[in-house]
């Protein structure tokens, strides 16, 4: 690693914890768990970004990964992961594999990740990268994430890394009773807000707002 990268990597945990404190009133979380922070520190983010951006791989900011997509800001990755409240036995659906970074984080915290990516080139490269780095409990498929992965449902957690116009009904249907979903949703005035969704044991759905965010749009089925 370069000295710039090393310095950023050393600072990043403190920056993530600071962002948790600053957004606690909206998220209800004033700090990340040690499990999530261990996963954030364990996964080598520089191996998931393009070489041109590797010196900034550990900045607390999103970075382009090609095809009009981005690797999310580390704080947002940590927050979305924390909101899922994952257990080691959980099975998780991820919509928007991208470069595979969020998949790798999730893989350290639960039993299996089923990840969908609509861009063929990204799906192929992410699957290869995750396999080569030893993340064996991640399955990547090139498909329209709006419709989920029906044959592997239900899921204990669903993470959507793209902004939807509403919460897709196929994903709600595939969320297990007691399951959690984290999804950015477009609001009036072009705003986007991260939503936390809980389906209770009776199948009733509760939706809570958290912070304003900015993601690439969810493409495919909802258009």
Q: Kindly list the catalytic residues.
A: 72
Alpha helices by DSSP H, 85-192: 101-107, 120-132, 169-174
184: exposed, middle or buried (Cβ count in 10 Å: 0-12, 13-18, 19+): buried
Taking alpha carbons only, the member of 179, 145, 149 closest to residue 160 is 145
Half-sphere exposure for 213 (CA within 13 Å, toward CB): 33
The answer to whether the beta carbons of residues 90 and 157 sit under 8 Å apart is: yes
DSSP H or E run through 54: none
Helix (H) or strand (E) run with residue 180 in it = strand 175-187
Cα separation values, 171 from 2, 56, 129, 181, 197, Å: 41, 34, 26, 9, 11
């Amino acid at each position: 690693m370069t000295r710039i990268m090393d310095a950023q990597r050393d600072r990043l945990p403190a920056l993530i914890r600071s962002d948790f404190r600053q957004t606690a009133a909206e998220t209800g979380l004033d700090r990340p768990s040690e499990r999530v922070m261990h996963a954030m520190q364990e996964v080598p983010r520089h191996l998931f970004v393009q070489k041109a951006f590797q010196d900034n791989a550990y900045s607390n900011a999103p970075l382009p990964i090609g095809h009009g997509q981005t690797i999310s800001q580390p704080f947002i990755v940590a927050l979305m992961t924390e909101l899922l409240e994952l257990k080691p036995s959980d099975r998780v659906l991820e919509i928007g594999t991208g470069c595979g970074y969020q998949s790798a984080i999730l893989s350290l915290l639960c039993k299996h990740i089923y990840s969908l990516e609509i861009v063929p080139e990204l799906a192929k490269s992410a699957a290869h990268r995750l396999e080569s780095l030893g993340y064996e409990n991640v399955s990547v498929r090139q498909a329209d994430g709006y419709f989920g992965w029906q044959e592997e449902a239900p899921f204990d957690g669903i993470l959507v890394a793209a902004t939807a116009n509403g919460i897709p009904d196929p994903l709600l249907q595939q969320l297990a009773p007691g399951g959690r979903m984290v999804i950015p949703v477009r609001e009036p005035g072009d705003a986007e807000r991260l939503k936390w969704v809980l389906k209770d044991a009776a199948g009733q759905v509760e939706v809570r707002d958290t912070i304003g965010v900015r993601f690439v749009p969810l493409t495919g089925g909802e258009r």
